[in-house]
Structure 1
């Protein structure tokens, strides 16, 4: 019975690790999108300021 429990626990740990990796990858993608959006917004503000100077 202990062997069966260990196997089940190992399978659950592997499944959890796979899902955690997927969540981590998605979080990184969201951070990248937010960073790109922030960079675009910053560029737009800088451009607006440059145009206001003229």
Structure 2
């Protein structure tokens, strides 16, 4: 099982995610970020904005 933090995946915090594949960890991180953005977390919103600017 692999592990990564939200920050490792260009997020805004040290929440840790585990999964068998990078895709599984990415989905868990995405759900985490979306939940926090919906609750008004500005740091995670800024992280999403930063990711959206990547080409």
Q: TM-score, normalised by structure 1?
A: 0.37
Q: TM-score, normalised by structure 2?
A: 0.36
Structure with the greater alpha carbon radius of gyration:
1
Considering fraction of residues, name the structure with more helix.
Answer: 1
Considering fraction of residues, name the structure with more strand.
Answer: 2
